[in-house]
Amino acid sequence: MRLPDGLVAVVKHDCPTCVLVEPVLRQLGAAVWCQDDAGWFDGDDTELELSYRLGVETVPTLLRVEGGAETARVVGWSREQWAELTGVPDLGEGLPEHRPGCGSLSVDPFRIDALEARYGGSGLASRRVELADLEDEHEALFDRGWTDGLPVVPPTPERVLRMLRGTTRDPGEVVAVVPPDLVECTVEKVAVNAVMAGCLPEHLPVVLAALEAASAEEFALHGLLATTYFSGPVVVVNGPVAERIGMNGGVNALGQGNRANATIGRALQLVVRNVGGGRPGEVDRATLGNPGKFTFCFAEREQDSPFAPLAADRGVPGNAVTVFAGSGVQPVVDQLSREPGSLARTFAACLRVNAHPKLPMGFDAMLVVSPEHGRVFREAGWDRARLLAELDDLLTLPADELVRGAGGMAEGVPAALAGSELPKFRPGGLLVAHAGGDAGLFSAIVGGWVSGKTGSAPVTREVHA
């Protein structure tokens, strides 16, 4: 939009200062655009395009234009500054020396996203999908296969631009190559799916970190999708970011009701579906699946924990996510143990049945220790390393009990291993986190997928702004 040379002003009729300087503007013969009343002056800026492109933040704004380019600007009414810009002395006799003006409609928080989408040259690269006039937008998203079976938020340009304000990263930056189709996924594509999941902009950095972790080679996301097993990504968040964005690590931490927990995990799953192509019945071949494949994300409860933050113990202090291939939640009940050795034995007995009690080293697990159980370890001075060492000893199992046919069960390890002892978990195959409400002598085991070279390893990544 090329401006006419001379004096140009932007006003709105609802602004007392703009009304105050109307006689001055008419005296000067300025080209005046009004934001809220197309009939007040000759210039109609009710669509706010001129105001947006000029970066007007306050009205009235008076500009001098030469050769189509702005050379000077005054914001609000100041007799001295207007006289200096216009070269006309004694402007506005009888008016106050100064009035600050009002906020421009072009910076109204309820309008800025639409204006940026319309005029900002936002550079969004995602394909635009036009819907028919009578097409319901929510049903259209179902029909195109872009949902997880629940309704999603339509990702309009305005919403995507608002989401992108949650990170300083370039929208075109490739975050990860997402399995199973090995598609490059940009920050913008993550933002689109975060909108659909119901995220807030401040959730986006955590979603980006979760995607980076889940797309790491050692996490083996393609295999996790293609397996007939139950599992999917579980996201554990550490650091001040969890509290800042309102995540839940307390009451019902593994359940519903918290927007950040629910939408961050869901956004990761939608990226895997919509960008990576991981759809149930296609590459996703789970026999049964588990409800956590909608979303499974929680914050570790770091306050009053007997353990250092999980991510810190894994070498990434501060704001970080750990992604684990989890298959569902197994309750652990122990309401009588008041010393750590007894409680560790309870945990070991429950962990032994992970996947199958006669299959050692085959499946990882995450033990989520609740605060009431955690207090037993904290008061005894047990940290995560001490608990894991105790569990390793308790879960070193005699192979004679694990071989095929033992106990009347055909499942088990080959008979050639008889006479040996086998660990239930491979080194690093058991994670321990701390979460839950203050009341309840319950903990939980999140069963994992197959471990080692044939399966998935947990991955921890830093959360960047």
Domain ranges of the chain: 6-119, 203-462
Separation CA 360–CA 350 (nearest Å): 14
Residue 411 tokens read as 């499942």
**Is residue 19 classed exposed, middle or buried when 0-12, 13-18 and 19+ CB atoms within 10 A define those classes?**
middle
Amino acid code (one letter) for 303? Q
Residue 94 tokens read as 């009888």
Question: E-strand spans in 210-319?
Answer: 232-238, 297-299
Question: Taking the model in full, what pTM does it have?
Answer: 0.87
Separation CA 432–CA 435 (nearest Å): 10
Looking at residue 307, what DSSP letter applies?
A: S
Q: What is the pLDDT of residue 454?
A: 82
Q: What is the pLDDT of residue 121?
A: 64
- How does pLDDT run along the chain (465 residues), one tens digit per residue? 678 999 999 999 999 999 999 999 999 999 999 999 999 999 999 999 999 999 999 999 999 999 999 999 999 999 999 999 999 998 998 999 999 999 999 999 999 888 988 887 667 888 888 888 889 999 999 999 999 999 999 999 999 999 999 999 999 999 999 999 999 999 999 999 999 999 999 999 999 999 999 999 999 999 999 999 999 999 999 999 999 999 999 999 999 999 999 999 999 999 999 999 999 999 999 999 999 999 999 999 999 999 999 999 999 999 999 999 999 999 999 999 999 999 999 999 999 999 999 999 999 999 999 999 999 999 999 999 999 999 999 999 999 999 999 999 999 999 999 999 999 999 999 999 999 999 999 999 999 999 877 899 999 999 998
Residue owning tokens 């799953």: 269
Q: What is the pLDDT of residue 62?
A: 98
Tell me which CATH code domain 6-119 carries: 3.40.30.10
Separation CA 292–CA 234 (nearest Å): 8
Helix and strand totals (H; E) in the chain: 16, 20
Residue 174 pairs in a beta bridge with: 186
Amino acid code (one letter) for 408? G
Separation CA 167–CA 241 (nearest Å): 13
Amino acid code (one letter) for 346? T
Looking at residue 298, what DSSP letter applies?
A: E
Q: How many CB atoms lie within 10 A of CB 183?
A: 15
Q: What is the pLDDT of residue 128?
A: 85
Q: What is the pLDDT of residue 122?
A: 63
Beta-carbon contacts of 188 under 8 Å, excluding residues fewer than 6 positions away, are 124, 125, 126, 160, 164, 171, 172
Q: In what helix (H) or strand (E) does residue 205 lie, and over which residues does it extend?
A: helix 204-214
314 touches 324 (CB < 8 A): no
Separation CA 10–CA 75 (nearest Å): 10
Residue 96 pairs in a beta bridge with: none
Residue 460 tokens read as 């921890």
**Is residue 454 classed exposed, middle or buried when 0-12, 13-18 and 19+ CB atoms within 10 A define those classes?**
exposed
Separation CA 37–CA 44 (nearest Å): 7
